[in-house]
Amino acid sequence: MQLDELYRRVIMDHYKKPRNRGALEEGTVSVFLHNPTCGDRISLQLRIDDGVVTDARFTGDGCSISMSSASMMTEAVKGRTTAEALDLAERFSLMMRGQPVEFEEYEDLEALSGVSKFPARIKCATLAWNALRKGIEQGRGEHKGLEH
């Protein structure tokens, strides 16, 4: 099986069986983002305790790229410090700009590397990651009222 086919399967698996889909109840930071270009929407809830993302969930709707990226992102950041989560977000952003990046800690993210060849789809892939950044800022008290 070719790598592209494997990556497509990983993306479709996360799209059809999203991890961490649903809302968190208590003690959460919540961010809603919308991509007006394509209509993708995500509501991300984070539970951050003592600088660690202890839980992450999302709801929303959109294309397979945006929803699978949200699924992968929530899996990748749970149990990480906010600094580690932001580092993952930065590395994901570099990958979307076509730079080679490896994710030893969560290899499924590499399945989205091909999106960098399609500029119109990059916003789809980065929507959840942008919500993560805003959620961490909000959780730290850096920016209040970031829901869009």
pTM (two decimals): 0.91
Q: What is the pLDDT of residue 143?
A: 45
Residues of the chain with pLDDT under 70: 1, 142-148
Which of 145, 138, 147, 146 minimizes the C-alpha distance to 53? 138
Which of 62, 5, 72 minimizes the C-alpha distance to 35? 62
CA distance 62 to 88: 22
Q: What is the pLDDT of residue 101?
A: 93
Q: What is the pLDDT of residue 148?
A: 35
Domains of the chain: 3-139 (3.90.1010.10)
- CA-based max dimension of the chain: 47
